[in-house]
Each structure stands twice: as C-alpha cells, then as structure tokens.
Structure 1
Amino acid sequence: MRATSLPLLVALLTLGACASMDPAPTALSPTDTPDSAPQPIADHDWAFYVENDQASLAYGRAESDDVWLSLACNKDSGRLDLFRPADADGQPVIYLESGGETERFTGRIEPSELFEHGEVLAEAPTTPPVFQRFRRLGWLGLHDAEGRALMVAHPTSTDGIERFFAYCG
C-alpha cells in the first residue's frame, strides 16, 4: 500500500493536516494499576475509517489540523502502514508503547505538503505485542524528539480500534 492511500487521506483531511503534539500526561510507573491508566485528552481521539478494501485508524483532533499518528491496512493483509509527522531531527523511526510493551519501527521520511519536516512512513505486521496491548488497553504512547505523547481512546472510540485490527487481519 502506498503512503497516500485513500483512507489515510480521508483521515488526514478529517482530522487535519499539520501535527503538533501537546505535552503528554505524566508517565505511568511499573507499579501503576489499571485504575490509574492514562486518561483521554478532551479534544483528541482515535478515528476509524473504511473505504473499499482499505482501512485507517488515525489519532488527532477532529475538524482540525492536528494529527499525531495514522495506521492503515488492506483488508485481511496482516500488515500495517504507519505514518507520523517527521521531527526536525530527521529520524525515520516510529517508536510506540502500550501497557509496558514497546516497539521501534524504522522506515523512511518522505516529503509532505501537509507536514513541515515530511512524514515518517514505516511498515509492520499486526502481531507485535505493542499492537496487541493497544487493542486491549485502548492507548498508545508515541515517542519522538519532543518526548512522549499518550494517545488514549475515549470510551466511544475503543470499538473502532478493535474493528480496525479485525479488518486488517
């Protein structure tokens, strides 16, 4: 799948075009309990889209220019395309965490009309533990040059996460 897939464009146009991560909530310690799980940001959420045989799951602020991360797939492919705005430091890595699982996905940076420093594009299977935790817990942490941002689903959008991964296979 190409980085300019239709579901990604729909997600970007719906959520916006220009990324800016606000300061993240404080980090969870290893002794934190599920009751102290990260909380959603009031105006940011995960959005699930399907069109033809492609799906995307994007995190950002609806009806704005604020997109932090997008995942896309072809139906039943078992593969994901990952997209995030590139940092000024030019590192082509998407570093994710969820519930104690972490994974670094190395990709490439491509120019973008939407993001000042381009966008990081990477590929991954749907099976790494970080994605399995995300499915169960409803949040991903994204690490970049500015630090760590928690992308937490609101209760009304958690089913979209599961539907996305079920669709991807």
Structure 2
Amino acid sequence: MRRAVFVSLIAGLGAAACATPPAPGQIAGMGWSLAQVDGEGSKLAYGRPQSDDVLVMLTCQPRSNGVRIAVLGQVASAHIDLGDGAQRRRVPAAASPAGISNAVMIESTVAPNDPVLARFSLSGELAIDVGDGTRLPLPAVDRGTVRRFIQTCRD
C-alpha cells in the first residue's frame, strides 16, 4: 500500500502545478512539487520530477487534520526529527521496507497546525533528520506552496 501511494504520487508529480528551481546544496535534478490528485488528496514532495525517486513526501486528505510524512532512508528509525532552524521536534515514526534496494520507509503523522509545519509555511525551510542522525539535504520551498498544501489539510 505504501509503495502504491508513492507510485501514485509520482504519476501526480508529472502533472504537478509547481516545482521550485534548484537551490544551492540541493541534490541535482531534485526539487519540491505540489500535486492535487483526485481521490488521493494533496501531496508535497521532494524528489526527481516524473520519476519514483522521492526522498520526502507530505500527504493529506482535505479536512483530515493530519499530515503524513514519509521519508525514504537507509536506517529503520522509530522517530523523525523535524525542524526549521529555530525549533526541533521529535515525532514517533514507524519504519518498513520500501521495496527499493535496502531502503526503508519511515512514516509519521502530525497535525497541520504543528508548530514546525507552521514555521515551514512561514519560512519555506524544513529540516528532517532520520534515526541515524542523517539530515536530508532539503532546499527551501516557496512559502505559498507550503501554505496551499497545509490549507488543503485543514479545509
């Protein structure tokens, strides 16, 4: 099921309405994309457009009051550390095989009004650390894109 969600995300990213240009320190060819997929809700992802190469995906259904965060990692972890430079928060997570090489899918759910997500919508910056202390190289995303995503989760 989780892999199916990532595959459906990739299909949606091919037609995504917005993708940010490369930023310093960004992985070549990767960027943020926002997609609204009928029946699947809103998806904000960092990865290679029109591929299944996605490192981070935030998803929600309209009015769900829950944002699912999925991170592709190499080490199974029972938590994800979210931050924006000003504040960090550890959230419980579950890890499972991703079906891609030795990768694991690390997933957690937070409220759309979570303080870290609120600051993400103001700054466009999000830091994610996985269990082994690895910080994902996430460049900033357009703040309007983040606000649209979070608003979808609330409305």
Which gives a bigger RCO, structure 1 or 2 (Cα 8 Å, sep 6+)? 1
Give 3-state SS (helix, strand or coil) of 2:80's partner.
strand
Q: Does 1:135 align with 2:133?
A: no
Partner of 1:106: 92
Partner of 1:94: 80
1:1-169 paired onto structure 2 within 5 Å = 3=2, 6=5, 8-12=6-10, 39=24, 41=26, 43-53=29-39, 54-88=41-75, 90-114=76-100, 116-144=102-130, 145=132, 147-154=134-141, 157-169=142-154
- What is the CA-CA distance between 1:40 and the residue it aligns to? 6.5
Give 3-state SS (helix, strand or coil) of 1:151's partner.
coil
Contact 1:109–1:121, Cα closer than 8 Å, also in 2: yes
Partner of 2:20: none
Q: Which structure 1 residue ranges, 4+ long, deviate > 6 Å from structure 2?
A: none
Unmatched segments (≥5 aa) in structure 2: 14-22
Query: Which amino acid letter does the alignment assign opposite residue 75 of structure 1?
Result: P
Question: How far apart, in 1, do the equivalents of 2:101 and 2:83 lie?
Answer: 23
- What is the CA-CA distance between 1:114 and the residue it aligns to? 3.2
Question: How far apart, in 1, do the equivalents of 2:91 and 2:33 lie?
Answer: 22
Count of aligned pairs: 142
- What is the CA-CA distance between 1:140 and the residue it aligns to? 0.6
Query: Which amino acid letter does the alignment assign opposite residue 159 of structure 1?
Result: G
Normalization by structure 2: what TM-score? 0.75
Closer/same/farther in 2, CA of residues 139 and 109 from structure 1, 3 Å limit: same
Identical counterparts, % of pairs? 22
